[in-house]
Amino acid sequence: MTAPADPDAPQDMARAQDALVVFTPSGKRGRFALGTPILTAARQLGVDLDSVCGGRGICSKCQVAPSFGAFPKLGVEVREDALSPWNQVEERYRAKRGLAPGRRLGCQARVMGDVVIDVPPESQVHKQVVRKRAEAREIVLDPATRLYYVEVPEPDMHNPKGDMERLRDALAEQWGLAHAQGDLRTLQGLQAALRAGEWKVTVAVHQGAQTGGARIMQVWPGYHEGPILGVAFDVGSTTIAGHMVDLASGQVLASSGLMNPQIRFGEDLMSRVSYAMMNPGGAAEMTRAVREALNALIGQLCAEARADRGAVLEGVIVGNPVMHHLLLGIDPRELGWAPFALATSDSMELWAAEIDLEMHPDARLYILPCIAGHVGADAAAVVLSEAPHQSDDLVLIVDVGTNAEIILGDRRRLLACSSPTGPAFEGAQISAGQRAAPGAIERVRIDPQTKEPRFRVIGSDLWSDAPDFDGRSVTGICGSGIIEAVAEMRMAGIIDEDGAIGSAEATGSARCVPDGRTHAYVLHDASAEGGPRILVTQADVRAIQLAKAALTAGAQLLMDKMGVEKVDRVVLAGAFGAHISPLHALVLGMTPDCPVEKITSAGNAAGTGARIALLNAAARREIETVVRRIEKVETAVEPRFQEHFVNAIAIPNKAAPYPELAKAVTLPNPRFGAGAEGEGGSEGGRRRRRRPRG
């Protein structure tokens, strides 16, 4: 590929026969013979410059930006004629497709003098995929499925190798991609494509780890720009989230989600396992349901991205062990009892068709490994996304959901467990609870003086005390709303440390109303206008206490195993985790004590982990290795779990100190529980509450 003397080259023989080329931002540099294409120089120096067409001036992926003038820091002076003039290929490309000012095609522009070449981010093969959070791992684009443009030698009667074998050899020679094999469907279409493209084709190659090398999934005549797409799924007990990405750019083209239709067989994991055990064919029914849902979701994503199912060449799936097994058609009954044996714990490579997913007919799937019988591929994906194994800090990651996964560790050691929090955090088991949807209360503030609430509902920017707020539009309270409500009630002295709601007399608020043998707090009352009346009942508070106690007890068990009394930071993951206010989580004691500013939300980290595995094949090997060294803790058989759990029912906690919380907020200390009313606990609470915060 190194070019001989270029016809456009100035014939001034007094000039040096080679020139210095400096690439930015890598800083890589070297001397090259005059006439060397920039792409060739980049390859020889190992500079990350993309090219699908292999330097044939077709794909324009190798665009570079030359700089001219004096660069004292680099020790280079770049003359205006440091690159060969525009040639026909570049002119044609610019006329047909446009080329931004200052850009050249790296495969066409040739070195004619010392030059500084900037490789813009979009021209790098291993592009950085942008993530918004500073603390999150970087995602480098390096997918398992890629396009290659190849020129294949024509058949020759004296060398009777098949078309496939000549394509394979061309891939090895032109792209260093050895031993590629073709899927059967590829073989069926190969001869027509080669001839239609006049022996120039673009191929999609998947490089799996388990299938023994590169497999050609499709062949297109000539240069094919794509897109080639991938989907990443996080199959949760309640919701299924999906992202569609462009495998060439790493861009997310569509994101969507839908309810897991298995809900009709049982709200939580154990009820679905029971359904499988009690009903012959029940597991198969649930398998069908979730596969249909994934197909519907692929349809939604394709519609949103205006893409064709046939262009979806790859998928990555994560999910908890029960979801994982049901999706794969494995009866989950063994996950219902000790020792919670997984059918398989390793990562898997499958054909999408093996589990009936409607994508490209030969699309490949990658399923992340499971960590243990209760800690699934979703938790592995969280690890991949949050990278605790690369953290110097000791980080606690809590994936909040119906079944919470908890990971504690740093680059030295990792522990994991799961804890059955139940569906309270998702608004279930709450009297006015509902899913996060328009009309649901999601933010709550209670004035510690007046004990009057104000709130915001999903779908509106107005707080409830704004003049235009329509009180009739409120429909219920969602997971993050109930957490804030209970935490605010605790801060306002409406509930005590044990979670008991005080009476109107004890709290001094008429919003505390009798509710059977206990009290409830009236968060919203629009009944006069024909609207709803939303209460936070004693049972609601109890449900949140039990859920958060399970979460904290799990975390504390891991801390015991690790031999630590505090963590450096906390990450709240899960779609729902993204909406929890760190301060309120801490007040509630949902997490161990930690500086408030060290509690962050990771959003749907499992989904992000799936997306990382889709975009970067090395990340698959990474998580497979990391998962093997995660120490699994089974909460069900650890005697200390129960003790931590009982202590964690208190708000924030009966036993564990919360000095960091105390720095942020001083909690009042009333006593409303059995026998407390007469002891003036509420008075003491009220007194404390009146102190200014700070």
Stretch that binds a second copy, among 86-94, 211-219, 396-404, 502-510 (CB under 8 A): 211-219
* One-letter amino acid for residue 6 of the chain: D
Stretch that binds a second copy, among 256-264, 326-334, 491-499, 615-623 (CB under 8 A): 326-334
Pairing of strands 599-603, 569-573: parallel
Give the helix/strand (H/E) hosting 571. Answer: strand 569-573
Give the helix/strand (H/E) hosting 663. Answer: helix 659-664
Of the pair 48, 331, the CB lying nearest a second copy is at: 331
Q: Is residue 530 close enough to count as binding a second copy by CB under 8 A?
A: no
Of the pair 195, 472, the CB lying nearest a second copy is at: 195
Of the pair 335, 590, the CB lying nearest a second copy is at: 335
* Smallest separation, CB 172 to a second copy (Å): 14
* Smallest separation, CB 631 to a second copy (Å): 10
Stretch that binds a second copy, among 258-266, 349-357, 464-472, 499-507 (CB under 8 A): 349-357
Q: Is residue 373 close enough to count as binding a second copy by CB under 8 A?
A: yes
* Smallest separation, CB 164 to a second copy (Å): 4
Q: Is residue 331 close enough to count as binding a second copy by CB under 8 A?
A: yes
HSE-up (13 A, CA, CB side) for residue 601 = 16
* Smallest separation, CB 325 to a second copy (Å): 9
147 neighbors 51 (Cβ within 8 angstroms): no
Cα–Cα distance, 410 to 390 (Å, whole number): 7
Cα–Cα distance, 409 to 563 (Å, whole number): 11
Tokens standing for residue 36: 């060397």
* Smallest separation, CB 328 to a second copy (Å): 7
DSSP string, 346-384: S-EEEEGGGGT--SSTT-EEEEPPP-BTTB-HHHHHHHH
* Smallest separation, CB 336 to a second copy (Å): 12
Which residues make beta-bridge pairs with 145?
206
Backbone angles phi, psi at 207, to 5 degrees: -110, 100
Cα–Cα distance, 305 to 311 (Å, whole number): 11
Binding residues among 166-205 for a second copy as defined by CB under 8 A: 181-182, 184, 187-188, 190-192
> Dihedral, CA atoms, 504, 505, 507, 508, nearest 10 degrees?
90
Considering only residues 226, 329, 595, 680, which one is a binding residue for a second copy as defined by CB under 8 A?
329
Q: Is residue 253 close enough to count as binding a second copy by CB under 8 A?
A: no
* Smallest separation, CB 353 to a second copy (Å): 10
Count CB-CB contacts under 10 A for residue 462.
Answer: 13
Cα–Cα distance, 382 to 372 (Å, whole number): 14
Of the pair 219, 547, the CB lying nearest a second copy is at: 219
Binding residues among 147-166 for a second copy as defined by CB under 8 A: 154-158, 160-165
Q: Quick one: residue 179, left, alpha or beta (phi over 0 = left, psi -120 to 50 = alpha)?
A: left
Q: Is residue 372 close enough to count as binding a second copy by CB under 8 A?
A: yes
Of the pair 114, 163, the CB lying nearest a second copy is at: 163
Considering only residues 77, 135, 142, 334, which one is a binding residue for a second copy as defined by CB under 8 A?
334
* One-letter amino acid for residue 91 of the chain: E
Considering only residues 173, 292, 308, 346, which one is a binding residue for a second copy as defined by CB under 8 A?
346
Tell me which residue of 237, 233, 241 sits closest to 261, measured CA to CA: 237
Tell me which residue of 166, 149, 167 sits closest to 223, measured CA to CA: 149
Of the pair 49, 408, the CB lying nearest a second copy is at: 408
Cα–Cα distance, 395 to 416 (Å, whole number): 12
Binding residues among 64-103 for a second copy as defined by CB under 8 A: none
* Smallest separation, CB 364 to a second copy (Å): 13
* Smallest separation, CB 87 to a second copy (Å): 35
Of the pair 307, 316, the CB lying nearest a second copy is at: 316
Binding residues among 543-602 for a second copy as defined by CB under 8 A: none
Binding residues among 611-640 for a second copy as defined by CB under 8 A: 632, 634, 636-637
Binding residues among 351-370 for a second copy as defined by CB under 8 A: 354-355, 370
What is the pattern of x (binds a second copy, CB under 8 A) and - over residues 458-487? ------------------------------
How many binding residues for a second copy (CB under 8 A)?
A: 50
403 neighbors 268 (Cβ within 8 angstroms): yes
* One-letter amino acid for residue 117 of the chain: I
Stretch that binds a second copy, among 47-55, 102-110, 207-215, 562-570 (CB under 8 A): 207-215
Vertex 336: Cα angle to 238 and 344 (nearest 5): 85
Q: Is residue 216 close enough to count as binding a second copy by CB under 8 A?
A: no
**CB contact burial 589-612 (16+ within 10 A = b; e otherwise):** bbbbbbbbebbbbbbbbbbbbbbb
Cα–Cα distance, 511 to 527 (Å, whole number): 14
Of the pair 495, 557, the CB lying nearest a second copy is at: 557
Q: Is residue 128 close enough to count as binding a second copy by CB under 8 A?
A: no
How far is Cα of residue 436 from the mean position of the Cα atoms in its chain?
Answer: 20
Stretch that binds a second copy, among 98-106, 255-263, 338-346, 389-397 (CB under 8 A): 338-346
Considering only residues 130, 303, 341, 462, which one is a binding residue for a second copy as defined by CB under 8 A?
341
Q: Give just the sign of the alpha carbon dihedral 214, 218, 223, 229.
A: negative
Cα–Cα distance, 298 to 244 (Å, whole number): 8
Tokens standing for residue 15: 């000039």
Q: Is residue 280 close enough to count as binding a second copy by CB under 8 A?
A: no
* Smallest separation, CB 192 to a second copy (Å): 7
Assign 3-class secondary structure to 205-242: EEEECCCCEEEEEEEEECCCCCCCEEEEEEECCCEEEE
Q: Is residue 515 close enough to count as binding a second copy by CB under 8 A?
A: no
Q: Is residue 423 close enough to count as binding a second copy by CB under 8 A?
A: no
* Smallest separation, CB 174 to a second copy (Å): 19
- Chain residues binding a second copy by CB under 8 A are 154-158, 160-165, 181-182, 184, 187-188, 190-192, 210-213, 328-331, 333-334, 338-346, 350, 354-355, 370-373, 375, 632, 634, 636-637
